[in-house]
Amino acid sequence: MKEENQSVSKTLRIAVIPGDGTGPEVTAEALKVLKAVAELEGFAYETTTYDFGGERYLRTGEVLPAGAIDELRGHDAIFLGAVGHPQVPPGVLEKGLLLELRFQLDQYINLRPVKLYPGVPTPLAGKGPEDIDFVVVRENTEDLYCGAGGFLKKGTADEVAIQTAIYTRRGCERCIRWAFEYTRRRNNPKGKKLTLVAKTNVLTYGHDLWWRTFQEVAREFPDVKADYNHVDACCMWMVKSPEYYDVIVTTNMFGDIITDLGAILQGGLGVAAGANLNPDPGGVSMFEPMGGSAPKYTGLGVINPIAAIAAMAMLLEFSGQPHAAQRVTDAIQFVTGNKMKSQAAGQMGYSTSEVGDLVVEQLQQQATRSAAEVAGT
Ligand code: IPM
Ligand code: MN
């Protein structure tokens, strides 16, 4: 069975960038889970590890060596642990590594599920897993993130700073169309709804382009309800009535902000994962836990690896292994629901690697149970 599977499916080539701080610790657990699920599913994979991050930058003065992007292009997917180093000035690694990869690899979708797992506390009173289950599709290559702008008379009393948001028809259209397709595929039994989140009442150029494009693309998807919220109202609704949302599509900057709000609704950065997708043929996508490098927890074995394991599940989902992804998601839900005391670093009731072990153990038990069910029928 295993051989047969391997002969028909090609080896999944994964570039692994453990990164800074607690990145390597959580990456190790995600890889542990990958190994276990690959054995159960019978698919082959190989990993290449890259030491990009703060340490390397401090040693060599460069963030990404020449040729790195091309090498990464030769993989099916990238797994990124975390970026951010206390000795490196803010922006250097974020721009030089994370944003550089998103832009160079044209990962134009940032997909961030906001899903409350069983057993995970949310700060929202009276809300449970059935209420908090939506997905944010964040445009990932434009907006204020382009880095367009500059200073005039820097350092003087007359200083002027300009930071320009760039939106293109092509950029918003491909993101919006992907979001409609995704909403259709997600097929929410409560009804398929895509909410555009923007600020058309103030950003009357850029977000007018988004609005017009959204209306046009919506005509191709009559089965999906096309909905609109201003971003400020969206923040209010996410807290008051998260069950209102199915899929949200939004601009890069607003998406950055509302997905941190979403992360805390689902139990925090220890749980939240995201995918930077280039869905075009031959595109290389990158998967990451949303939490940063958490320097103060580095090396202590107390950081929560669930977000990294969930990012690995997303990698599998978008790399032709949706069944493996489902197994991992089921195992995560069992572990958060039945084992872990908390999702906060140092309060899980287990160490980082013990949480990884629990997920692996659960994967194996699920497999034994389903084999027994098949044998019994
Ligand atoms: C995120 C992060 C990044 C972003 C930072 C680290 C540049 O906050 O992935 O949401 O702003 O996109
Ligand atoms: Mn962010």
Residues with beta carbon inside 6 Å of ligand 1?
94, 98-99, 256
Among 242, 266, 290, give the residue marking a domain's end. 266
**Domain presence at residue 289:** yes
Q: What domain range is 322 assigned to?
A: 1-111+268-377
Are 77 and 15 within one domain?
yes
Asked whether residue 329 is assigned to any structural domain, the reply reads: yes
Structure tokens at 200: 């058309």
- Cβ atoms of 94 and 257 closer than 8 Å: no
Per residue in 292-338, pLDDT (tens digit) is 999 999 999 999 999 999 999 999 999 999 999 999 999 999 999 99
Percentage of the chain exceeding pLDDT 90: 94
| Residues 19 and 92 grouped into a single domain | yes
Q: In percent, how much of the chain has pLDDT > 70?
A: 97
Reported as type and span, the H/E element at residue 29 is helix 23-41
Both 162 and 76 in one domain: the answer is no
Burial of 351 (0-12, 13-18, 19+ CB in 10 A): middle
The pLDDT value recorded for residue 9 is: 65
The sign of the CA dihedral 137, 231, 195, 209 is negative
Q: What is the rounded distance in angstroms from the CA atom of residue 154 to the CA atom of residue 151? A: 6
256 C-alpha to ligand 1 centroid (Å): 6
144 and 259: one domain? yes
Q: What is the pLDDT of residues 30-59, one digit of tens each?
A: 999 999 999 999 999 999 999 999 999 999
Neighbours of 163 (CB within 10 A): 10
Q: Give the contacts of 64 (CB within 8 A, at least 6 positions apart).
A: 52, 96, 97, 100, 101
Q: What tokens does 21 get?
A: 């701080």
**Would 117 be classed as within a structural domain?**
no
Closest CA to 267 of 300, 232, 242: 242
The reply to whether 375 falls in a domain is yes
Is the per-residue pLDDT at 3 higher than 50?
no
Q: In 10 A of CB 147, how many CB atoms? A: 12
Q: Which of 167, 199, 246, 297 is catalytic?
A: 199
- What is the number of structural domains in the chain? 2
Q: Is 246 a catalytic residue?
A: no
> Counting beta carbons within 10 angstroms of the beta carbon of residue 175, is it exposed (0 to 12), middle (13 to 18) or buried (19 or more)?
buried
- Domain assignment present for residue 308? The answer is yes
Residue 123 predicted with pLDDT over 50 = yes
128 and 95 housed in the same domain:
no
Clarify whether residues 26 and 95 are in a common domain: yes
Within a domain: 116: no
User: Is position 256 annotated as part of the catalytic site?
Assistant: yes
Mean pLDDT of the chain: 96
In a shared domain, residues 102 and 133 = no
Query: Residue 369: inside a domain, yes or no?
Result: yes
pTM over 0.75: yes
Domain boundary among 239, 266, 293: 266
Q: Are residues 302 and 225 in the same domain?
A: no
Q: How far does the centroid of ligand 1 lie from the alpha carbon of residue 113, in Å?
A: 15
CB contact at 8 A, 353 and 28: yes
- We report the CATH number of the domain holding residue 238 as 3.40.718.10
Residue 313 alpha carbon to ligand 2 centre in Å = 20
Atom 1 in ligand 1: which residue has the minimum CA distance? 256
Do both 327 and 211 map to the same domain?
no
Instruction: Report CA-CA distances (Å) from 86 to 27, 58, 254, 302, 345.
Output: 20, 11, 26, 19, 19
For residues 150 and 254, membership in a common domain is answered with yes
> What confidence category does residue 7 fall into, taking pLDDT thresholds of 50, 70 and 90?
very low
Our answer to whether residue 260 is catalytic in this structure is: yes
> Is residue 204 situated within a structural domain?
yes
Whether 377 shows a pLDDT value over 90: the answer reads: no
Q: Which of ligand 1's atoms lies nearest the C-alpha of 99?
A: 7
Closest atom of ligand 1 relative to the 292 alpha carbon:
6
Q: How far apart are the C-alpha atoms of 257 and 138, rounded to whole Å?
A: 10
Q: Do 201 and 319 fall within a single domain? A: no
Instruction: Determine which residue's CA is closest to atom 11 belonging to ligand 1.
Output: 256
In a shared domain, residues 148 and 261 = yes
From 215, 234, 266, the end of a domain falls on 266
